[in-house]
Amino acid sequence: MKSLRQRTAIFVTITAFVCTALLAVGGGIFNDANNWQNLQTFNNAINTSRLTTGRGTATPLVTGDFVLSSGWGAGSNTTTAIAGTDQNWTATITGVGGSQGASPTITLTFHDGTWTNAPNCIATFNGGTGTYQALLVTTTATTEVITYNGTPGNSTYIVTSLCLGR
């Protein structure tokens, strides 16, 4: 049986999804101004609370939370533009040095500690000067590992990730 925290997180996520869908269809369902305003207020409260439900205080990530494999090249770093928390973050990876190798990885050790179960995460490119390749994501309860499906160049790669607990 799932813990109260897990059940609450599931309920909040489902409720937020339903409210967002209802908002998307507009006045066809809620044609009374008061009901519409109440639903918008409720949806905003759900969206705010689901950011931390099940993950505590959502501490901002720092450079030390990330480790790059040698495939990014000698001197590669993630020191620029790290923003976000364990659940949703963006970081700029800079491949440098000319010694890049195939399939380099980005490993995030979750700043706020262990999830109850390994979260479901997705990652995508959000800009940069490098060639976009598929990003393969694997997770444990303590880490997220993103593998670049190619060989990076001396370029920047802006990566964004979203993790949801289960």
- Sheet containing strand 156-164, edge to edge, reads 77-84, 88-94, 156-164, 120-128
Q: Confirm if 106 and 68 have CB atoms less than 8 A apart.
A: yes
Q: Are residues 149 and 72 in the same domain?
A: yes
How many domains, the chain? 2
Residue at 22 is within a domain: yes
Residue at 54 is within a domain: no
Q: Are residues 145 and 73 in the same domain?
A: yes
* pTM across the whole model: 0.67
Q: Are residues 45 and 67 in the same domain?
A: no
Structure tokens at 158: 């802006």
Can you give the pLDDT of all 166 residues of the chain as single tens digits? 555 454 444 544 544 444 444 444 443 344 444 444 444 454 444 444 434 444 456 899 999 999 999 999 987 777 678 999 999 999 999 988 888 999 999 999 999 999 999 999 999 999 999 999 999 999 999 999 999 999 999 999 999 999 998 8
Cα dihedral 56/57/60/63 (nearest 10):
-50
Q: Are residues 78 and 157 in the same domain?
A: yes
Residue at 57 is within a domain: no
Domain range for 72 is: 63-164
Residue at 58 is within a domain: no
